[in-house]
Amino acid sequence: MTQISLTDEQILETVSDALLTLANVGYGDYSTRLHVDPNDQSPLASLYAGINEMIASLSAEQSKSQSYQAELEEKLATIEKQRAAIRELSTPIMEVWDGVLCLPVVGVMDTARSAEMTSSLLQAVVEKKTRCTIIDITGIDVMDTRTVDHFMRMARAVRLLGAECVLTGINPHIAQTVVQMGIDLSNVVTHRTLHEALQQYVERSVR
Amino acid sequence: MPVCEVRDPVDVFHVQRSVSKAAAALGFEKRACSELAIVGSELASNILKYGVSGHVEIAAVEDEHGPGIALVATDRGPPFRNLDAAMRDGWDDRGPIDPVDMLKRKGIGGGLGAIARLSHSFRVEQLDGGKRIHVVRYLVPPRKKRRSERTKA
């Protein structure tokens, strides 16, 4: 190995070059590289090559973690969208006829869901200038007494807003719960099926 | 039997499904499975609302009342300030809930009451930095529901 002697000035210059590049890396710029003369065998040249290698692998890691982060953020956005979709799907409100809202309820009915339903239904009644709302609970097997009570309150609140409230699809077990609770049902119109309720409303409004 | 972590609103659905599946596997009839799903749902949504995070454990039990299913909900939230108040429908552990707040809070204050009504034994354990609710429902309802068992911690 041939020894190449450098002047102090040259050494200082190379070192300051290296420091400048490292400073760039420190600020997040991974694009700069130190110039290496392939014929140069000096220790400084191999230091340069080492630094370049380090920057290259750092930049690869950096771009990898950036893409992971982007992926993660995208997934989080998807989860947020799905959450909104679940909320919306768990209380679907549709306008099945002019001025008639239908609220089909399926699945497990707990207190949180009944509260959520009330607020979205009352809001929809006002927004859509509804005259009649049909709450169909064919898809519900059981309800706790408190939830049944809340349903009746919801029906009364709908009436306060100037719309009719019709309950349909009550199964025998829920009917028993309602009767056992001694709830006054005179304010609430009930029909066996959604079909019947809608038919009656349409016939009445045609006349 | 599964342990369901509860950290996110979606986990409430997971608890519902796991509970009703486990109940069906233990031989509960369909209606009881649906009622247990409500219990699981209330336990899980209470964890989210008041307990920050926690988990619901589902287990098969067998004691002097026969075979049944146990649901144990543990959370890391503050203890009940007043359990008797929290048990009342339309109340939380401080007192009656303002109807206006009911809409905002996404609850009607009936969760604990529903849990107690739809199960055969209900016990609350106050922990250091959290609380645990033990609920059992038997395949065959015990003759008499002892009140003391339901309300005392």
The pLDDT tens digits of the residues spanning A72-118 come to: 999 998 888 887 777 777 778 888 888 899 999 888 888 888 888 88
Rounded to two decimals, the pTM is 0.69
Single out the residue of B35, B37, B126, B36 nearest to residue B75, CA to CA.
Answer: B126
B97: which chain A residues are within 8 Å (Cβ-Cβ)?
A: none
Supply the pLDDT for residue A72: 94
Q: Minimal Cα–Cα distance from A82 to chain B, Å?
A: 9
B13: which chain A residues are within 8 Å (Cβ-Cβ)?
A: 86
> Looking at residues B106-125, what average pLDDT do you find?
82
pLDDT in tens, A10-62: 888 888 888 888 888 888 888 878 887 777 777 778 888 888 888 889 889 99
Number of H helices, E strands in chain A: 6, 5
- Determine how many CB atoms are found less than 10 A away from the CB of residue A65: 10
H helical segments located in B76-117:
83-87, 99-105, 111-117
Supply the pLDDT for residue B36: 93
- Say how far apart CA A111 and CA B45 lie, in whole Å: 9
Backbone region of residue B129 per phi and psi (left: phi > 0; alpha: psi in -120 to 50; beta: other values): left
Amino acid letter, residue A74: E
Q: Minimal Cα–Cα distance from A101 to chain B, Å?
A: 20
Task: Determine, for residues A142 and B111 on separate chains, whether the beta-carbon distance falls below 8 Å.
Answer: no
Selected residue of B8, B106, B137 to mutate for chain A interface (largest A Cβ count, 10 A): B106
- Say how far apart CA B114 and CA B38 lie, in whole Å: 8
Selected residue of B8, B103, B112 to mutate for chain A interface (largest A Cβ count, 10 A): B103
Contacts 24+ apart (CB under 8 A), B28-31: B28/B69, B28/B137, B28/B139, B30/A141, B31/A141, B31/A142, B31/A173
Measured torsion, CA atoms of residues A121, A186, A197, A170, in degrees rounded to the nearest 10: 80
Mean pLDDT over all residues of chain B?
82
Single out the residue of A122, A188, A118, A186 nearest to residue A150, CA to CA.
Answer: A118
**Minimal Cα distance from B37: which residue of A?**
A108
A113: which chain B residues are within 8 Å (Cβ-Cβ)?
A: 41
Token pair 């768990």: residue: A90
> B3: which strand partners?
B57
**Minimal Cα distance from B102: which residue of A?**
A115
Supply the pLDDT for residue A125: 92
A143: which chain B residues are within 8 Å (Cβ-Cβ)?
A: 38
Task: Determine, for residues A111 and B34 on separate chains, whether the beta-carbon distance falls below 8 Å.
Answer: no
pLDDT above 70 as % of chain A: 97
> Looking at residues B127-141, what average pLDDT do you find?
88
Q: Minimal Cα–Cα distance from A193 to chain B, Å?
A: 21
pLDDT in tens, A7-17: 788 888 888 88
Using the Cβ of A112 and the Cβ atoms of chain B, whether some distance falls under 8 Å is answered with yes
* Residue B19 or A202, more confident: B19
CB distance A157 to A122 below 8 Å: yes
Mean pLDDT over all residues of chain A?
85
Non-local (6+) Cβ contacts of A1 within 8 A are: A41
Single out the residue of A171, A162, A110 nearest to residue A136, CA to CA.
Answer: A171
B89: which chain A residues are within 8 Å (Cβ-Cβ)?
A: 146, 149
pLDDT above 70 as % of chain B: 87
Cα angle A5, A8, A11 (rounded to 5 degrees) comes to 80
Using the Cβ of A111 and the Cβ atoms of chain B, whether some distance falls under 8 Å is answered with yes
Note the ipTM here: 0.71
- Say how far apart CA A113 and CA B29 lie, in whole Å: 24
CB distance A157 to A124 below 8 Å: no
| DSSP secondary structure, A65-97, as one string | HHHHHHHHHHHHHHHHHHHHHHHHHHS--EEEE
